[in-house]
Amino acid sequence: MVAGNVDIEGCIKRSCDLEGQPLSGRSLGAIVESYQDGSYLAESIKGSQADQDFKTKFIDENEAYVQFGGTDRYFLRVCHNIRSSGRCDELFLFIHGLGGNLEQFEPLLRMLDETGRQFLALDLPGFGKSDEWDRYCMYDVVEAIHQAVDKIAKSGGYGKLTIVGHSMGCYLSVHYYLKYHEEVNRLVLLAPPKPNVDYLAKNRYWIQIGLHTGHKFPWLFDIYRERFDQCKGLKSSGIRQFFHREGGVTSSYRKLWQFHNNVQIKSRSIFGYFLGWREIDWSELNDVLIKAGAQTSLVIMCGDRDEITPVQYSSDISDLLPGANAKKLIAIRDCGHNLCFDYPEVVLKEFHENVLSELS
């Protein structure tokens, strides 16, 4: 089935509807009612019941684990709908941000599945349910992502690759593109960070010392997270800064879902990714985009109420890439950092109009 044969408004509505999706079988209302916000939420949302409440049938049906390496083997958790070894006409690759996981793209994945498109999303090493690494150089993470694509999608090959990155995942997406641009048809950057993250520069010695200390003794940061942030429940930074909209039961459920994932983030991995950060040469990227011409296009999408990566960051990146073909900059009104969870209906509509329609 292709997008032209689908009632897209109905498709978007179904892709955003979570009723009946939790593996626990409980209604969204019952789940929301059972978790009392406040200082005890972090503990109550870690239990086995929460694992069933905040995992959807769609994710469960498409989830897999991919093994890498020899004696030092590790596993990456992935979610994909590639069911045969035949050729993919187009493949959508999703790369999440710092501390995130593949579930943050859930509404988009469902829309792609319903419109007959193939996708691959993954938990980055050290996040979600993927194994931890000792170090997280961005270039090594990009290689792991490329190997995942090789293992899952390349047996039959694919014609077009659209990379969708969120937050830090935008940096990884660009590094991926710079190395494997001949494979990529489109870059979609959701809520990208500022073009140059100066404070992570290697010559910022005191910051580097602090990052190394946090990486070696992550329990120090865990104390801060647990006693001074997570104890605030849905008013903690990971919810307050990621969401802008107030809504009904579904919005409350998505906030609890994100909080459930937040309390499981590994502090050591956060420091590891900061230490492994690699800046982007934007002039090089612009040159590659110019050479690619009509073969690669760029879509940048952000929330106009994003406190973590403000709209100005997206605008700055757009200005640094004048050579990009069919470049689009889209600001979602009244939306925070986690676009797909905060305002999924509008994000899916914009994604359909500015990405899927262009590829049809």
Long-range contacts of 104-107 (CB under 8 A, 24+ apart): 104/166, 104/258, 104/338, 104/340, 104/341, 105/164, 105/166, 105/340, 106/56, 106/58, 106/59, 106/340, 107/15, 107/16, 107/340, 107/341, 107/344, 107/347, 107/348
Predicted pLDDT at 19: 97
Selected catalytic residue, list 15, 24, 85, 167: 167
**Cβ-Cβ contacts under 8 Å for 36 (sequence gap 6 or more):** 44
For residue 6, pLDDT beyond 70: no
Q: pLDDT, tens digit, for every residue of 15-74?
A: 999 999 999 999 999 999 999 999 999 999 998 899 999 999 999 999 999 998 777 789
Distance CA 359, CA 294 (A): 12
Mean pLDDT along residues 160-177 = 97
**63 SS3 class:** strand
Every domain of the chain and the residues it spans: 3-359
DSSP 8-state symbol, 229:
I
CA distances from 259 to 46, 50, 197 (A): 10, 11, 26
Distance CA 174, CA 120 (A): 17
Q: What percent of the chain has pLDDT over 70?
A: 95
**327 SS3 class:** strand
- Is residue 98 within 8 Å of residue 235, measured between CB atoms? no
Please give the biggest Cα pair distance in the chain. Answer: 57
Closest alpha carbon to 86 in 145, 153, 10: 153
Listed in sequence order, the DSSP H helices in 117-199 are: 138-153, 168-180
Predicted pLDDT at 72: 78
For residue 156, pLDDT beyond 90: no
Helix, strand and coil in the chain, % to nearest 5: 50, 15, 35
* CATH class, 3-359 region: alpha beta
For residue 349, the tally of other CB atoms under 10 A from its CB is 16
Predicted pLDDT at 238: 94
For residue 206, pLDDT beyond 90: yes
Distance CA 43, CA 334 (A): 31
For residue 166, pLDDT beyond 70: yes
For residue 359, pLDDT beyond 90: no
For residue 265, pLDDT beyond 50: yes
* Phi/psi of residue 88, nearest 5 degrees: -90, 125
- Say whether 236 is catalytic: no
